[in-house]
Structure 1
Amino acid sequence: MTRIVREHYPVEKLPEDLRDGLPVGATVTVTVEGGSPRQPFDVRLDQILHDARPVGPSEARMRLARSGVSATEAVARIRALRDEWDR
Structure 2
Amino acid sequence: RLRRARRVVGRVFVIVGGGGMKDMVKRVMDGDKLTPVDVLYPPAMIETAMELTALKFTSQIPVSGEYILGSPLIDQENAAEYYFPDSPF
Say which one has the larger Rg: 1
So what's the TM-score if we normalise by structure 2?
Answer: 0.28
Normalized per residue, the structure richer in helix is 1
So what's the TM-score if we normalise by structure 1?
Answer: 0.28
Greater relative contact order (CA < 8 Å, ≥ 6 in sequence):
2
Normalized per residue, the structure richer in strand is 1
